[in-house]
Amino acid sequence: MTPTQLVERAKKNNIEVMAITDHDNVDGLKEGRQEAEKKGITFVNGIEISANFKDKDIHILGYFLNLEDKEFLGWLKKLQKKRHNRTLKILSKLSDLGIDISFSEVEGEVLGNVIGRPHIAKMIIKKGFSATMDEVFDRYLGDGKPAYVPKVGVDMVEVVKKLKANGAVVILAHPHLISHPDDTMINIIDSLVKNGLDGLELYYPNIETRKKNKLLKIAKRRDLILTGGSDFHGLNRANIDIGMGNIPIEVFKKIVEKKEKIDKNIKKI
């Protein structure tokens, strides 16, 4: 969806506050903010950056981004180049499997400037090699599957440091989905906390009660704030819509309080 379409859907779903957190880019934020202001929705500049830990994806959210930070924007350009190269490698692997998709065909599925696996998945479906998005990821693009290519070269600690230098509120996205043993997940969180992590994304559609309670304890012991989101990626995810998770407005207020503290500390420096 375009940023305008996202905001329109948020308005339809009675959303009061929203953030657009595209992966590794901020291209949709200006349009999203303009449309949100027209609709009376509070809009937060955001991003979701794909990091790497032992060949597994770790996603880190930044809220209240400073879009005037040229150093940060330059760093993002380098991430986008890596994403581009990853796409080429995935297409090469698919070709070896007998699925020939050109880069230009994938570009035709993209409304913005950044290509992700869902765009490639759409072309696989269009060419008749799979029927659903779930099937594409189960057979070809998911972790460990024949056409999977891990994101490389972006360390999770580096991501947190870059976001902190930008002045953003930094959140570990959907920690319950990290595919590591619990002890490793705790070590990941502690490592990020040492480098400035502000909170955990805990209000999330369909999170298991056991995992939620465990993460609540982890967050409380480390004085981390709790955030949430629907993780809406358009209509390609069944039964996921903007606003799912019943996130109370108090969650947003905590993020604002954290941002105010960050800004005060920056002024002191």
Can you give the residue ranges of every domain in the chain? 3-79+152-268, 80-141
Both ends of the chain: CA-CA distance in Å?
40
Structure pTM? 0.84
Q: What is the topology classification, in CATH, of domain 80-141? A: DNA polymerase; domain 1 (1.10.150)
Which secondary structure element, helix H or strand E, spans residue 83, and what is its range? helix 70-96
Contact between 20 and 42 (Cβ < 8 Å): no
pLDDT at 152: 65
Residue 4: closest CA among 45, 27, 40, 36: 36
* CATH tag for 3-79+152-268 (out of 3.20.20.140, 3.20.20.70, 3.40.50.300, 3.40.50.1000): 3.20.20.140
What pLDDT is recorded for position 233? 85
The beta-strand segments (E) located in the chain are 17-20, 42-53, 56-63, 169-172, 199-203, 225-228
Task: Look at residue 181 in the predicted model and tell me its pLDDT.
Answer: 74
The H or E element spanning position 2 is none
Q: CA 76 to CA 24: how far, in whole Å?
A: 6
Partnered with residue 60 across adjacent β-strands are 49, 172
Note whether 192 and 160 are within 8 A (CB).
yes
Please answer whether residues 53 and 26 qualify as being in contact, where contact means their C-beta atoms are separated by less than 8 angstroms: no
Q: CB neighbours (10 Å) of residue 194? A: 10
Element (H, E) at 247: none
Pick out the chain residues at pLDDT < 50.
none
Query: What does the pLDDT read at residue 268?
Result: 67
Q: Show the tokens assigned to 129.
A: 């090699």
Looking only at the bridges linking them, the beta strands covering 42-53 and 56-63 are: antiparallel
Q: State the residue for tokens 């509070």.
A: 42
Domains 3-79+152-268 and 80-141 share a fold: no
Burial class (CB in 10 A: 0-12, 13-18, 19+), 140: buried
